[in-house]
A and B are shown apart, each in its own frame.
Chain A
Amino acid sequence: MIVVLELRQRVRAVSWYVLLGVFILLVAFVTVLLSIALFAFGAADAGGGVFSTIILFVLLLGSLVTPALSGSAINGDREAGTLATTQVTLVTTWQLVLGKFLAAWVSALAFLAAAAPFLVYATIVGHLGVDTTVVALLVLVVELGVIAAIGVGLSGIISRSLFSIVLTYLVVAALSVGTLIAFTLGGLVIQSEVRSTSSYATSFATDGAPVECSEPQVSVYRTPRFDLVWVFLAANPYVVLADAVPTQYDQNGFPTDLFGNIKLGVRAAQKSPDLDTSYSECDGKQLVQPTGRETIESTAPGWFVGLLVHLVLAPAALTAAWASTRTPAARLARGSRVA
């Protein structure tokens, strides 16, 4: 009941349809441009790139819209004087809070539904595997739910709706941008010294092979230790999404879509830098860079840690909202009224 009421009352307004229309236009625009750009490069499987970009775009817009829809779900009603009249009915506080959460989630998912035609197009064009599509959609749905839950939770705890909306945005920003900043700054602050010993060829045989090498030259420099702070990124919803999706590789062993490239970047950050490198042109060893596939397969998937953090955060927020909305109310937030 509350879900229907909420959807009819709060969400199903003209402005919301306008928003949805703008969103479809944006996605259409991005899809067309991406298709042109990627196919112009001659990438045979550009569909993967288009698909992953649209999914990330839906997450971006969803995380921008959902706080506005959910961040005033409870205190907005209190300000409008409709919360207390609902609370005196036989509706329980859990029904109220969960109803508002589901309504916010459903309305965020409407954006995903609106993007469906473009996703279908990208799936077909990109010959994507079922696993990629399903996992990507599933994680996206869960992440939008997490944002909706945080919004509803904060709207229950904080009495002013403006504050709770802003705070919801800040939480979303902390997760998506803040983790990135923490990761970058953390990595730069914790630096280690690298001793790099290298000797270069001074004379060559007729076939170009090095014959004689210089004395080993030692250089010392400092390198950021991203491997110690990569966990920050694990809590990032975009990273969770990218990291969770099974990656498809090209013939060189590198990912073909945006998810895979983000995943590769995050996984590469896990690797500890070699703090004592040595290289000589004369010992016949080639410097081999690992492929993307090797990097990804040799590192730990962090997405389920991040997802777990989110899945703890969401019920915690809803429970807090329940506790502060419960009636008969024992404690009231400063300056708030029941009705």
Chain B
Amino acid sequence: MSIVADSPGLPINGGIVVSGASRAFGEIKAVSSATFTALPGTVTALIGPNGSGKTTLMLMLASLLKPDGGQIRIAGFDPILETGEVRRRLGWMPDVLGSWASLSVRATLEFTGRLYEFDRSKAAARAAELMTIVGLADLADSPTRVLSRGQKQRLSLARALVHDPDVLLLDEPASGLDPVARVQLRDTVRRMAAEGKTVLVSSHVLSELDEMADSAVYLEGGVTASAERVAAARIAPRPWRIRASDLAALLSALDAAEVGTRTQDRNEVVVALSGEEEASTLLATLVSAGVRISAFAPALGELENTFMDLSGLIARPVADSQNPAAS
């Protein structure tokens, strides 16, 4: 079993390594070519529009679906040939929140532990520990059917963590969570990465990924964007939002600074700037021209910006891009 030969130049002793993975359902190619690496100790975002093949890719990584072609390594093991080894090291939180309806939260986690070949006392101890980590200790003995969506989400995360996996796959972990729970989720995910785990998080809510991810994989139409395209998109002009109490002064100062593309939105102006350098130059110019600036910030998060650029949506920086969750 030569991993090195399969994926030359890629780390072999951990993380997630995918090269050229594809999977079709009948005529429909859900994933046609996915290539990326997620390193241990980092959080990697998997980004793509609905139907881009995120979940199919996740299922292949989770050893549930066989790829038609390409190579996948989870913590150095092949999910097809070494399924058991992969499953021992892999935690998967699905986008579908299924739970054993009549079992309590505690029993669910204990059973999951037992399915990972824990003995009874170890499973019980781990269940208690996890309920504290995800904040479900108060609901330990309620049946899972009474849990709210957000609580089920947390149970699902706890279930993925039962066997303390090295690699974590989180499919839409934040959907349905309230802001406090999102912060907790982010902290949990960051802590996992700090412990040296490999975390892959998929979501289409890009702002929330921006806060937790170290790097990103862009998937569109079943193909991962190449590193070059991502690098190009990163330096492409992105919208910045400028707010000033005196809008007329701001507009004339912008004219003087010869900033081309811009749109006006309520008492704000959105301008296209390439990179931080150009932004700080413009800010200095505006301030020295005596414009009183109250806000000067990128209109989109970094991931969001790159993603919008890759999907060809960047040309129109409009106000409603503030709410990408509405996709």
Contacts and interface: CB of A to CB of B under 8 A. Distances in A.
A84 interface: yes
Contacts of A89: 87, 112, 115-116, 163
A339 interface: yes
B4 to A, nearest CB: 23
A81 B98 contact: yes
A84 B64 contact: yes
B115 A91 contact: yes
B66 interface: yes
Most central of B59, B63, B84, B101 by chain A CB within 10 Å? B59
Interface in B96-122: 96-103, 107, 111-112, 114-117
Interface string B60-96: 1011111000000000000110011001101010111
B159 A85 contact: yes
Given A1-B115, A5-B111, A88 B63 contact: yes
B25 A332 contact: yes
B85 to A, nearest CB: 10
A333 to B, nearest CB: 11
Interface residues on A, range: 20 to 34
Interface string B136-164: 00000000000000000000100100010
A205 interface: no
B16 to A, nearest CB: 15
Contact of A329 (B66, B84, B114, B116): B66
A91 B112 CA distance: 10
A94 to B, nearest CB: 13
Interface stretch (A6-14, A39-47, A161-169): A6-14
Contacts, number: 87
B65 A338 contact: yes
A1 B83 CA distance: 20
A329 B64 CA distance: 6
A81 B26 CA distance: 23
Interface string B31-71: 00000000000000000000000010001101111100000
B55 to A, nearest CB: 8
B64 A90 contact: no
Interface in B254-290: none
A82 interface: yes
Pick the most buried of A8, A85, A330, A339: most chain B CB atoms within 10 A of its CB. Answer: A85
B107 A90 contact: no
A319 interface: no
B114 A1 contact: yes
B103 A9 contact: yes
Given A13-B102, A90-B116, A84 B94 contact: yes
A86 B65 CA distance: 14
Interface string A59-99: 00000000000000000010011111111111100000000
Contacts of A12: 102
A191 interface: no
Contacts of B163: 89
A328 B79 contact: yes
A278 interface: no
A8 B107 contact: yes
A128 B79 CA distance: 58
B83 A328 contact: yes
A274 B202 CA distance: 79
Contact of A81 (B83, B87, B97): B97
Nearest to B117: A90
A76 to B, nearest CB: 11
A1 B111 contact: yes
Contact of B83 (A77, A327, A338, A339): A327
Nearest to A339: B94
Contacts of A329: 64-66
Interface string A19-45: 000000000000000000000000000
A95 to B, nearest CB: 9
A328 B115 contact: no
Given A1-B114, A328-B80, A88 B62 contact: yes
Contacts of B101: 9, 80
B251 to A, nearest CB: 52
Nearest to A331: B66
A71 to B, nearest CB: 18
Given A328-B60, A332-B25, A90 B84 contact: yes
Contacts of B96: 81, 84, 339
B84 A328 contact: no
B318 to A, nearest CB: 35
A85 B103 contact: no
A328 B87 CA distance: 11
Nearest to B68: A330
Given A85-B98, A89-B116, 17 more contacts: A1-B114, A1-B115, A5-B100, A9-B102, A9-B103, A85-B159, A86-B115, A88-B62, A88-B90, A89-B87, A90-B88, A327-B65, A328-B64, A328-B83, A329-B64, A332-B25, A339-B98
Interface of A: 1, 5, 8-9, 12-13, 77, 80-91, 327-330, 332, 334, 338-339
13 contacts: A8-B103, A9-B102, A13-B102, A84-B98, A87-B64, A88-B64, A88-B90, A89-B112, A327-B64, A328-B83, A339-B59, A339-B64, A339-B96
The 8 closest A-B pairs by CB, nearest first: A81-B98, A89-B115, A81-B96, A328-B66, A82-B98, A330-B66, A9-B100, A339-B94
